């Protein structure tokens, strides 16, 4: 990381960013050699030092096809964005933010209980509420799981 003064290494602060952010940008590799990035709602948990993100999707589509062909992903989250004014000098303008970028692998979750857990985590992160879910609800969508063992975080504060 170039800006060590902005680096965040404390896991509690990283989890705070993941809780405050509401959109995960999922980066996949398209067949034409270009990255394919899609914004998604998500829920998350941690295990064995990895961030684990759950997202939902329609039952078919381009991102599912790409994950089936190449499971490698990059994820990005950000929150706390606010303009830092610079008056009449354009180069003095900036933006506050906190962000997490990570690299890992994605899969389409097949296990019904894990799909339900992933959807519950998603709803908790998006709404702050716990919802009851069942297999019938989970069967209406695909649930994606991204296991991200390598990640960095940084912030620019006021």
> Is 157 a domain residue?
no
Q: Is residue 156 part of a domain?
A: no
- Domain harbouring 113, CATH code: 2.30.110.10
Contact 19, 10 (CB under 8 A): no
pTM of the model: 0.92
Using CB atoms within 10 Å of the CB of residue 15, give its burial: 0 to 12 exposed, 13 to 18 middle, 19+ buried. middle
What pLDDT does 1 receive?
A: 63
Total tally of structural domains belonging to the chain: 1
Structure confidence by residue, pLDDT tens digits, 55-108: 999 999 999 999 999 999 999 999 987 888 888 888 878 878 899 999 999 999
Residue 72 domain-assigned (yes or no) = yes
Residue 38 lies in a domain: yes
pLDDT above 80: residue 2: no
136, part of any domain: yes
Helix (H, G, I), strand (E, B), or coil: what is residue 136? helix
Residue 125 maps to a domain: yes
d(CA 34, CA 28): 9
**Among positive and negative, which fits the CA dihedral 20, 5, 37, 118?**
negative
Q: Is the pLDDT of residue 23 over 80?
A: yes
Domain residue limits at 77: 4-151
Backbone angles phi, psi at 34, to 5 degrees: -100, 150
In a domain, 158, yes or no: no
Mean predicted confidence (pLDDT) in 10-15: 95
């Amino acid at each position: 990381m170039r800006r060590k003064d902005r680096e965040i290494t404390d896991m509690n602060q990283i989890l705070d960013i993941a809780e405050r952010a509401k959109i995960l940008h999922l980066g996949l590799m398209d067949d034409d050699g270009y990255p394919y990035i899609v914004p998604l709602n998500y829920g998350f948990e941690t295990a064995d030092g990895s961030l684990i993100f759950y997202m939902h999707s329609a039952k078919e589509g381009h991102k599912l096809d790409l994950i089936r062909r190449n499971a490698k992903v990059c994820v990005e989250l950000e929150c706390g964005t606010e303009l830092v004014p610079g008056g009449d000098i354009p180069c003095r303008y900036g933006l506050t933010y906190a962000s997490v970028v990570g690299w890992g692998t994605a899969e389409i979750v097949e296990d019904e209980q894990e799909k339900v857990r992933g959807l519950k985590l998603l709803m908790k992160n998006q709404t702050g509420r716990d919802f009851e879910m069942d297999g019938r609800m989970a069967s209406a969508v695909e649930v994606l799981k991204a296991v991200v063992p390598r990640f960095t975080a940084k912030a620019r504060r006021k």
